[in-house]
C-alpha cells in the first residue's frame, strides 16, 4: 500500500462528509478516522452531529466517543492517535480514511500547522475581564516554562498563552517546540464544497433537527458535569443552551445563536480549507450521494489508486 493511499476528506459542517466517507470505505475496504474536535467526547452526541449508529455499524470508526467530556485532549495527542490508527489500519490491509472539519486537526495532518490557533473572541473577552494576578497564577500552573519567558506584567502574551491552552489543551511552550514536526504520512486530499446559500439552509435545518431529537435534554444532562473552562463546554449548540438554562437568554435567542454561530464556523472552515495546497475539490451542489462518490472514485482512478 502506497503512502498516498491514505485519504483525507474535509469540508464545512453539514456538507456531507460522513456519508461520503462511509460509502468510500465500503467501496475501497477502508476504515474511518475522525478529525472532529468534539466527536471525541462521550455524551456529546446530538449537538456534534456524530455519524449515526447505522453508519458506524457498517464501517469501523476511530477517535469517536472515547473521551469523557470533563477531560482535555490536545492536538499533539490527536496526531499521535491518528498515526497509531493509520498504522493499525494499514497493517490490516485496509485503507485509512480520515474525515472531519476541525481546522486545527486538519492542519495538524497537512503541513499547515504553524503559528497556533486563531484568536477566539469569546475566550479573549473572558480572560481580559480577569485581573492580571489571576491570569499570571493560572499561567504558572499550566505552563511554568512560558511563565518564565513572559514578563509578569505582559498581559497580552499571558492572555495569548492561556487562550492557546484553552483552545488546544497544549501549553504554548510545547506548541512552539512540537508544532513544526512534520506528519509522517501523506494523504490524497478531497475537499467538498457546496453553494453557500444551500449550505446555510442545511445548517439551519440540521439545528432544528437536533433540537427535535433532544438536544435541549442532552445539554441539561451535560451541564451538571461541565464547567466553562472545559473545552466540551464551549461547543456550539451546547454553550448557547447553557446560557438559556442559566437564564441569560431566551430559548428562541439561543436557537438563533446556534444557527448563527454554526454558519460563522462553516465560513471560517471554508476560508481555512481553501488555503490547503494540492486539494482535489468537488462541488457537491446538486449532486446525489452516488454522484459524489463516483466523482471521488474518478479522481482516485486518475491518481492510480486501486478502486
For residue range 43-86, list pLDDT tens digits in order: 999 999 998 888 899 999 999 999 999 998 888 889 999 999 99
39: pLDDT confidence band, cut at 50, 70 and 90? very high
Q: What is the pLDDT of residues 213-246, one digit of tens each?
A: 999 999 999 999 999 888 899 899 999 999 999 9
Domains in the chain (CATH in brackets) are 3-114+180-302 (3.40.50.300), 121-178 (1.10.20.140)
Q: What is the pLDDT of residue 178?
A: 66
Please check whether residue 85 is in contact with residue 94, taking contact to mean a CB–CB distance below 8 angstroms: no
Ranges of H-type helices in the chain? 17-28, 53-56, 75-91, 103-110, 121-128, 132-142, 144-149, 155-168, 172-178, 196-212, 215-223, 239-245, 251-273, 289-302
179: pLDDT confidence band, cut at 50, 70 and 90? low
4 has a pLDDT exceeding 60: no
Distances (CA, A) of 109 to 8, 298, 307: 9, 24, 24
298 has a pLDDT exceeding 90: yes
Instruction: Tell me if residue 8 falls in helix, strand or coil.
Output: strand
3 has a pLDDT exceeding 60: no
Q: What is the pLDDT of residues 13-34, one digit of tens each?
A: 999 999 999 999 999 999 999 9
**What gap in Å lies between CA 279 and CA 120, rounded to an integer?**
27
Give mean pLDDT, residues 286-301. Answer: 96
176 has a pLDDT exceeding 80: no
Q: What is the pLDDT of residues 82-141, one digit of tens each?
A: 999 999 999 999 999 999 999 889 988 987 555 567 778 888 889 999 999 999 999 999
Q: What is the pLDDT of residues 249-274, one digit of tens each?
A: 999 999 999 999 999 999 999 999 99
Q: What is the pLDDT of residue 273?
A: 94
Q: What is the pLDDT of residue 116?
A: 64
pTM reported for the whole predicted model: 0.82
Amino acid at each position: 500500500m502506497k503512502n498516498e493511499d491514505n485519504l483525507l476528506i474535509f469540508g464545512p459542517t453539514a456538507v456531507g462528509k460522513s456519508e461520503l466517507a462511509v460509502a468510500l470505505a465500503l467501496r475501497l475496504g477502508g476504515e474511518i478516522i475522525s478529525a472532529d474536535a468534539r466527536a471525541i467526547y462521550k455524551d456529546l452526541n446530538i449537538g456534534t452531529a456524530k455519524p449515526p449508529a447505522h453508519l458506524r455499524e457498517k464501517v469501523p470508526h476511530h477517535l469517536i466517543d472515547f473521551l469523557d467530556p470533563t477531560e482535555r485532549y490536545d492536538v499533539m495527542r490527536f496526531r499521535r492517535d491518528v498515526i497509531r490508527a493509520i498504522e493499525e489500519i494499514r497493517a490490516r490491509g485496509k485503507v485509512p480514511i480520515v474525515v472531519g472539519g476541525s481546522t486545527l486537526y486538519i492542519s495538524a495532518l497537512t503541513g499547515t500547522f504553524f503559528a497556533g490557533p486563531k484568536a477566539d473572541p469569546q475566550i479573549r473577552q473572558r480572560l481580559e475581564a480577569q485581573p492580571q494576578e489571576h491570569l499570571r497564577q493560572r499561567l504558572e500552573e499550566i505552563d511554568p516554562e512560558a511563565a518564565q519567558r513572559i514578563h509578569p506584567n505582559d498581559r497580552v502574551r499571558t492572555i495569548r498563552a492561556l487562550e492557546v491552552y484553552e483552545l488546544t489543551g497544549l501549553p504554548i511552550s510545547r506548541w512552539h517546540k512540537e508544532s513544526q514536526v512534520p506528519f509522517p504520512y501523506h494523504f490524497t486530499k478531497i475537499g467538498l464544497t457546496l453553494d453557500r446559500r444551500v449550505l446555510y439552509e442545511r445548517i439551519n435545518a440540521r439545528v432544528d433537527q437536533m433540537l427535535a431529537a433532544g438536544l435541549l435534554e442532552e445539554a441539561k444532562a451535560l451541564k451538571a458535569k461541565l464547567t466553562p473552562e472545559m473545552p466540551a463546554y464551549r461547543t456550539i449548540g451546547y454553550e448557547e443552551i447553557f446560557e438559556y438554562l442559566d437564564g441569560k437568554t431566551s430559548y428562541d435567542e439561543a436557537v438563533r445563536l446556534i444557527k448563527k454561530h454554526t454558519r460563522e464556523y462553516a465560513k471560517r472552515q471554508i476560508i481555512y480549507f481553501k488555503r490547503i495546497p494540492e486539494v482535489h475539490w468537488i462541488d457537491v451542489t446538486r449532486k446525489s450521494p452516488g454522484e459524489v462518490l463516483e466523482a471521488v472514485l474518478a479522481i482516485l482512478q486518475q491518481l492510480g489508486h486501486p478502486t
